[in-house]
Amino acid sequence: MPTALVTGASSGIGAAFARRLSGDGYDVIVVARRRERLDQLHEQGAASELIVADLAEPEQCARVEERLAAGVDLLVNNAGVGVGKAFEQSTVSEEDRMLALNVRAVMRLTHAAAAPMLAAGSGQIVNVASVAAFTGAVGFASYSASKAYVVTLSESLAVRYACRGVTVMALCPGYVRTEMHDAASTPTSGLVARLMWLDPEQLVEVALRDLRRGKEIITPGVVYKTTVATTKLVPRKVLAVAGRFANRDGQ
């Protein structure tokens, strides 16, 4: 039976990955800070092994690294966090914790999983980034930067490991109906909502399909594909002007 390890599995995208992979015949190891949420997945039959860990804490992250070093077939680096404030309004500790989880933990767990995968000549890694990785010029500051790191790391490793049997993919969603996203400022019904919001199960379906196809970077949803394509075509100076306009109220 193949083995998958999913971080940030207590809700949203991570929980959807755990349920889908378990249904696909994987022995699923779930990682999160909230034990009660992991217990629920276990009771549902969506997880066989539980690891309670705060990946922003080096010692706790190390415990997950040890499990990965023993070998898994699929790693889903889903755990992540946003500050939810403008850069100048957040504290250094809030920014540092975000980078510890979004950047350092992703690097450490990817590194731990890659070695046994390369030795075996097979394995898959999905690093969950964000469409924000491509729109840093118009806001989100450190969060966008952290997700840009995940995209660049994943793309580089995908190219390096392609001929060695290991697939690496960056998953870059936009709005997903999860606890992380506050829906207050974005429509949640009607045509706009159908275009802007994805359900976690839909996202996982697309991600696993494209992982099988060997894609390196994916951005599910027509709206977000268009957004990324536009940012690649529009000069950075133009995006910066748009960003200044969007933030003209000083928030």
The residues carrying an active-site annotation are 143
Would you say 158 and 168 are in contact if contact means Cβ atoms under 8 Å apart? yes
Would you say 67 and 29 are in contact if contact means Cβ atoms under 8 Å apart? yes
Number of residues in the chain: 251
State the Cα–Cα distance between residues 44 and 22, nearest whole angstrom: 10
